[in-house]
Chain A
Amino acid sequence: MSLLEIQDLKVHFETDDGIVKAVDGASFSVDEGQTLGIVGESGCGKSVANMTILGLTQSPITSIEGKIMFEGKNLLEASPEEMQAIRGEEIAMIFQDPLTSLHPFYKVGSQLTEAIHVHRDVSKQDARDRAIELLELVGIPDPARRMRDYPHEFSGGMRQRVMIAMALVNDPKILIADEPTTALDVTIQAQILRLIQSLQDRFGMAVVLITHDLGVVADTANYINVMYAGRIVEAGTLDEIFYDPQHPYTWGLLGSLARPDRPRVKRLSQIHGQPPSLLAPPQGCHFRPRCPHEFDKCKQTPSLDPRSGTPAHLDRCWLPPEKKRTLRVIQGDQIGLEAPAA
């Protein structure tokens, strides 16, 4: 059984303009020690889905359906107190912008120990020791002294390290990292990803890595979900997604990746158009309006099924697998949605 299993999750927001279907029937699971990559462009529902796991999207305008099973318990039916006990203790989360994710008025040390005290009945000194230990682990020099500093005295990369330390002080079973490197310099990005991976090896927690950048998950993820407009459109192992992608949206993502290992192209290829409004998504396949390979069947919604011949490789595209394998090649052996413009 999986550690965390999301079944047909729907998260809708009732706004003045109508119902925003931010997540529209997503199912996925996270196994112990696994790294799951969730990839998709901004606004595809990947953050909302994961914040819902922690109960952070609740508001009077939210309606949530489906099941979030964690260790045999449906988190959507848990009481606020039960959720509070799970947040930060069983499932921890780090966010995109480390510059704004720490409280500007409290010292880093007190923010770290607060995370310990809310879950553990330990002495101040023990909490402090644990916090220093974690700061050291995430690579902050002179951690005992840095405990007394305020967040604005840390650089962006250092603040993300602090966030990671804060997330891990209670040894969570799952770490959800929501675009942890997006706001950082490219050089720092690699460091942070490597840090997360090494901590994962050490603590053995599962990691859900949310990103818009396939390159970020290429090194780290075992399994990848590609999300588009509130739905998972393709799910498979790292190799399946990179070498046998089934959904045209995945081709588009792969084609738009800058690849230093390939001959340089004049222009990176792009996916034309804009993601659909989640207020009124297109009927059938959501990717239909941007897909050059659309045909009449696409007006029916394809379910997430194994279509490529491998049982664990799922996708939502009506094209026959043989046809996909010819259509997706745009140049030599390069995969993409459309050949880059000359």
Chain B
Amino acid sequence: MLRYIVRRVLWGVVLLFLVSAVIFLIFYVFPNADPAKLRAGRQANPRLISQIREQLGLSDPIWEQFLRYMTQVFTPFDWFGASQHGGTGPLNFGNSFQSNTPVKEIILDRLPATGLLVAGAVVFWLLMGLPVGIISAIKRRSALDRTTMVTSLAFISAPVFWLGLVALYLFASDVGLIHIFPGIGSYLDADTFLAKCWSLFLPWLVLAAATAAIYARYLRSSMIDVMSEDYIRTARAKGVGERTVIMRHEVRSAITPIVTLLGLDIGLLLAGNAILTESVFNIPGVGREIVVAINRSDLPVIQGIVLFGAFFIVTFNLIVDIAYAYLDPRVRYQ
């Protein structure tokens, strides 16, 4: 088991390294715009541009830029002239072209909002998706099953930005038909943790809806597969009660693949996939930040967020792999 974990962690590190290299290639080697010109802004003149080029070290050979970039991202050392060209690391992605703040600070400032949004949504979609999936599987073909499955299909098909607007139209305390939940931008005004949670209530529901629906359908079909397994028949033949057969034998098997989904979904959302929900509800999270950064061609910010996203995805993949080995003993020996 330990060997398995060590191997997985090493793979994760290698993967992150490769992703960083690819990001470097995309942003420095094939730029569709000259970073120096972007940095110079509106009052650009040839002198300023060459000054910036010097400051960012853009005239150095590519391999030197690459090694410097990797040094700044991964190590605290002053190698390859890191301190003269943007400062030492780790996690140094340079400064925002727009505000001149270090990208690291921007990201760390936006992460809590995204983190809270995702955490709440995960709780919501698990609380909704898992029971619905289990009950639909047990009561297969009943009216309840058909209703929940059609409803879930509707939620899967509805785009998040539409669902978000409908939710606001119906329930927002300012513009809604029924004034219940805080509306757009309320997160910005919330100062206590509870107030923040309350302001995220609608976004949680909206973000959780589609995923809950997917989980419900997935768990339902996974349960139905498991129900016809020979070992379930064995459990019944032993005299195990129906409730225990379902919870201990069927759900235990059927839920294992859900863990994979869950890990990937959390990783993706933290990486900025909550972009639409954050935009609709004006939540100052990582997703909304990257939209702003893309609109302004703020290369360091985009690059930093992409690498952070990759970090989350790799990390949660790693967690999934380890959790899976824990949940399915057969995996440990492969």
Give A residues with C-beta under 8 Å from B.
Answer: 51, 54, 56, 80, 84-89, 92-93, 95, 97, 100-105, 114-115, 118-119, 150, 152, 163, 166-167
A56-B330 in contact given A100-B229, A100-B230 (Cβ < 8 Å): no
Report yes or no: A118 in contact with B238, Cβ–Cβ below 8 A.
yes
Interface: B233 (CB within 8 A) = yes
Choose among B237, B244, B249 the residue with the greatest number of A CB atoms under 10 Å from its CB: B237
Whole-angstrom CA separation of A104 from B229 in the bound complex: 11
Whole-angstrom CA separation of A257 from B321 in the bound complex: 51
CB distance from B23 to the nearest CB of A (A): 39
Grouping DSSP codes into helix (H, G, I), strand (E, B) and loop, the B interface class, with mixed when no group exceeds half, is helix
Given B229, B239, B249, B329, which contacts A152 in the complex, CB threshold below 8 Å?
B329
Give B residues with C-beta under 8 Å from A.
Answer: 229-231, 233-242, 244, 249, 252-253, 256, 327-330, 333
Given A92, A93, A104, A115, which contacts B231 in the complex, CB threshold below 8 Å?
A104
Whole-angstrom CA separation of A119 from B249 in the bound complex: 17
Given A84, A97, A166, which contacts B230 in the complex, CB threshold below 8 Å?
A97
Cβ–Cβ < 8 Å partners of B252 in chain A: 103, 105
Report yes or no: A105 in contact with B327, Cβ–Cβ below 8 A.
yes
Can you sample 24 A-B contacts with CB below 8 Å?
Answer: A56-B233, A56-B236, A85-B239, A88-B240, A89-B239, A93-B237, A95-B234, A95-B237, A100-B230, A101-B230, A101-B233, A101-B234, A102-B231, A102-B234, A103-B234, A103-B235, A103-B252, A105-B327, A114-B238, A115-B238, A115-B239, A118-B238, A118-B244, A163-B234
Given B233, B234, B239, B327, which contacts A118 in the complex, CB threshold below 8 Å?
B239
Report yes or no: A119 in contact with B233, Cβ–Cβ below 8 A.
no
Report yes or no: A84 in contact with B241, Cβ–Cβ below 8 A.
yes
Whole-angstrom CA separation of A118 from B244 in the bound complex: 10
Cβ–Cβ < 8 Å partners of B328 in chain A: 104-105
Cβ–Cβ < 8 Å partners of B333 in chain A: 152
Whole-angstrom CA separation of A87 from B239 in the bound complex: 5
Whole-angstrom CA separation of A149 from B38 in the bound complex: 63
Report yes or no: A114 in contact with B240, Cβ–Cβ below 8 A.
yes
Report yes or no: A80 in contact with B236, Cβ–Cβ below 8 A.
no
Whole-angstrom CA separation of A85 from B236 in the bound complex: 11
Report yes or no: B236 in contact with A87, Cβ–Cβ below 8 A.
yes
CB distance from A198 to the nearest CB of B (A): 22
Report yes or no: B249 in contact with A103, Cβ–Cβ below 8 A.
yes
CB distance from A8 to the nearest CB of B (A): 24
Cβ–Cβ < 8 Å partners of A95 in chain B: 230, 233-234, 237
CB distance from A78 to the nearest CB of B (A): 13
Given A101, A103, A119, which contacts B239 in the complex, CB threshold below 8 Å?
A119
Report yes or no: B330 in contact with A104, Cβ–Cβ below 8 A.
yes
Cβ–Cβ < 8 Å partners of B244 in chain A: 118
Q: A87-B238, A114-B238 are in contact. List 14 more A-B contacts (CB 8 A).
A: A51-B233, A56-B237, A80-B242, A84-B239, A84-B242, A89-B239, A101-B230, A101-B231, A103-B231, A105-B329, A115-B239, A119-B239, A150-B330, A166-B238
Choose among B231, B233, B235, B238 the residue with the greatest number of A CB atoms under 10 Å from its CB: B238
Whole-angstrom CA separation of A101 from B233 in the bound complex: 8
CB distance from B69 to the nearest CB of A (A): 45
Whole-angstrom CA separation of A80 from B234 in the bound complex: 16
CB distance from B259 to the nearest CB of A (A): 12
Cβ–Cβ < 8 Å partners of A80 in chain B: 242
Choose among A80, A101, A102 the residue with the greatest number of B CB atoms under 10 Å from its CB: A101
Whole-angstrom CA separation of A95 from B237 in the bound complex: 10
Whole-angstrom CA separation of A51 from B329 in the bound complex: 30
Cβ–Cβ < 8 Å partners of B230 in chain A: 95, 97, 100-101
Choose among A80, A102, A114, A167 the residue with the greatest number of B CB atoms under 10 Å from its CB: A114
Report yes or no: A88 in contact with B237, Cβ–Cβ below 8 A.
yes
Whole-angstrom CA separation of A105 from B231 in the bound complex: 11
Task: List the A residue with the shortest CB-CB distance to B330.
Answer: A152
Cβ–Cβ < 8 Å partners of B233 in chain A: 51, 56, 95, 101
Task: List the B residue with the shortest CB-CB distance to A117.
Answer: B240
Task: List the A residue with the shortest CB-CB distance to B329.
Answer: A150
Choose among A84, A88, A102, A105 the residue with the greatest number of B CB atoms under 10 Å from its CB: A105
Task: List the A residue with the shortest CB-CB distance to B241.
Answer: A84
Whole-angstrom CA separation of A13 from B163 in the bound complex: 44
Report yes or no: B237 in contact with A92, Cβ–Cβ below 8 A.
yes
Whole-angstrom CA separation of A100 from B177 in the bound complex: 55
Report yes or no: A88 in contact with B253, Cβ–Cβ below 8 A.
no
Whole-angstrom CA separation of A236 from B242 in the bound complex: 38
Cβ–Cβ < 8 Å partners of B249 in chain A: 103
CB distance from B239 to the nearest CB of A (A): 4
Whole-angstrom CA separation of A93 from B241 in the bound complex: 16
Choose among B239, B242, B330 the residue with the greatest number of A CB atoms under 10 Å from its CB: B239
Report yes or no: A118 in contact with B240, Cβ–Cβ below 8 A.
yes
Report yes or no: A86 in contact with B234, Cβ–Cβ below 8 A.
no
Task: List the A residue with the shortest CB-CB distance to B253.
Answer: A105
Task: List the B residue with the shortest CB-CB distance to A169.
Answer: B238
Whole-angstrom CA separation of A119 from B252 in the bound complex: 22
Report yes or no: B238 in contact with A88, Cβ–Cβ below 8 A.
yes
Cβ–Cβ < 8 Å partners of A152 in chain B: 329-330, 333
Cβ–Cβ < 8 Å partners of A84 in chain B: 239-242
Whole-angstrom CA separation of A97 from B233 in the bound complex: 12
Cβ–Cβ < 8 Å partners of A87 in chain B: 236-239
Whole-angstrom CA separation of A167 from B231 in the bound complex: 13
Task: List the B residue with the shortest CB-CB distance to A89.
Answer: B239
Task: List the A residue with the shortest CB-CB distance to B327.
Answer: A105
CB distance from A85 to the nearest CB of B (A): 7
Cβ–Cβ < 8 Å partners of A100 in chain B: 229-231
Task: List the A residue with the shortest CB-CB distance to B234.
Answer: A101
Whole-angstrom CA separation of A316 from B237 in the bound complex: 32
Whole-angstrom CA separation of A87 from B237 in the bound complex: 5
CB distance from A288 to the nearest CB of B (A): 34
CB distance from A103 to the nearest CB of B (A): 4
Cβ–Cβ < 8 Å partners of A56 in chain B: 233, 236-237
Whole-angstrom CA separation of A150 from B278 in the bound complex: 46
A103-B253 in contact given A95-B230, A95-B233, A150-B330 (Cβ < 8 Å): yes
CB distance from B156 to the nearest CB of A (A): 28
Cβ–Cβ < 8 Å partners of B236 in chain A: 54, 56, 87
Whole-angstrom CA separation of A189 from B236 in the bound complex: 25
